[in-house]
């Protein structure tokens, strides 16, 4: 079967491209235990493109099925390939695809890197095409799954930089405001930082309004791109 052949070849290539230094240090970036081959991220992207050329004429559902198999392995490098492939076909996205991506987040994402790679590009692109799903994203923010909560924020990084969805960004930040998980705090702080690139004053006012209860981790992320004077004001007291 062609599908099995491609998956087998990808895994053989990942094994052959692993290097000792990457294998020795991969776990250092994560608090939770991850599965990895030990392949540098740029090499994983190259492998993604190489094998995508073999499947690009397939239907969207066939490509998503391959992505699912890669996600199921639990290997971080395979998750990156799945994220890349699902983004490569973004021009074909339809509203029904939101449920596919939601399933991947809830079922397979188990570290910040896989979360961000999927959500920044694949989910973020779908939300720009179909903003009616912003309401679903707000439900993510109330999830018991830390990665789903982080996904609520990091899915809006690229739209935020473009100045889009500001009110929705503040609503999601409100839901996550006092979250105890540092990776969720970093996620929504990063979302606010991205929004500050186009809406600095509104984000600054939001931070000042909430700084008495906002965790310091989220606050520092949110103000990172602001001028020094504003940063000092936000950190004071």
CATH for 128: 1.25.10.90
Distance CA 65, CA 128 (A): 24
Q: Is residue 176 domain-shared with residue 235, that is, in the same domain?
A: yes
Final residue belonging to a domain, choices 41, 59, 92: 92
Q: Is residue 134 domain-shared with residue 207, that is, in the same domain?
A: yes
Q: Is residue 120 domain-shared with residue 74, that is, in the same domain?
A: no
Q: Does residue 102 form part of some domain?
A: no
Question: Total domain count for the chain?
Answer: 2
Distance CA 119, CA 125 (A): 9
Q: Is residue 149 domain-shared with residue 218, that is, in the same domain?
A: yes
User: How does pLDDT run along the chain (237 residues), one tens digit per residue?
Assistant: 688 999 999 999 999 999 999 999 999 999 999 999 999 999 999 999 999 999 999 999 999 999 999 999 999 999 999 999 999 999 999 999 999 999 999 999 999 999 999 999 999 999 999 999 999 999 999 999 999 999 999 999 999 999 999 999 999 999 999 999 999 999 999 999 999 999 999 999 999 999 999 999 999 999 999 999 999 999 997
Comparing CA positions, the residue from 52, 53, 45 lying closest to residue 67 is 52
Distance CA 161, CA 191 (A): 9
Final residue belonging to a domain, choices 60, 92, 124: 92
Specify the pTM.
Answer: 0.96
- Beta carbons of 72 and 108 less than 8 angstroms apart: yes
Is residue 229 exposed (0-12), middle (13-18) or buried (19+ Cβ within 10 Å)? exposed
Q: Is residue 215 domain-shared with residue 119, that is, in the same domain?
A: yes
Final residue belonging to a domain, choices 61, 92, 123: 92
Other C-beta atoms lying within 10 Å of the C-beta of residue 186: 19
Residues 6+ apart with CB under 8 A from 205: none
Domain ranges, residue 228: 111-237
Residues 6+ apart with CB under 8 A from 58: none
Q: Is residue 121 domain-shared with residue 234, that is, in the same domain?
A: yes
Q: Is residue 82 domain-shared with residue 171, that is, in the same domain?
A: no
Q: Is residue 22 domain-shared with residue 75, that is, in the same domain?
A: yes
């Amino acid at each position: 079967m062609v599908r099995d052949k491609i998956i087998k070849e990808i895994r053989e290539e990942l094994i052959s491209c692993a290097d000792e230094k990457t294998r020795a240090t991969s776990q250092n970036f994560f608090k939770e235990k991850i599965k990895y081959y030990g392949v540098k991220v740029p090499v994983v992207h190259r492998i993604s493109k190489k094998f995508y050329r073999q499947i690009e004429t397939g239907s969207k559902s066939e490509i998503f099925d391959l992505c699912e198999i890669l996600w199921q392995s639990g290997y971080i490098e395979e998750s990156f390939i799945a994220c890349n492939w699902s983004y490569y076909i973004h021009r074909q996205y339809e509203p029904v695809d939101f449920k596919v991506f939601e399933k991947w987040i809830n079922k397979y994402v188990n570290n910040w890197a896989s979360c961000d790679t999927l959500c920044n590009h694949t989910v973020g692109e779908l939300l720009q095409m179909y903003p009616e799903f912003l309401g679903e994203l707000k439900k993510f923010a109330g999830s018991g799954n830390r990665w789903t909560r982080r996904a609520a924020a990091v899915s809006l990084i690229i739209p935020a930089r473009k100045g889009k969805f500001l009110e929705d960004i503040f609503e999601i930040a409100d839901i996550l405001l006092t979250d105890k998980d540092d990776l969720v705090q970093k996620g929504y702080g990063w979302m606010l930082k991205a929004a500050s690139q186009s809406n600095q004053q509104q984000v600054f006012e939001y931070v000042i309004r909430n700084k008495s209860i906002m965790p310091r981790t989220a606050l520092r992320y949110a103000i990172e791109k602001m001028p020094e004077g504003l940063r000092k004001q936000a950190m004071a007291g």
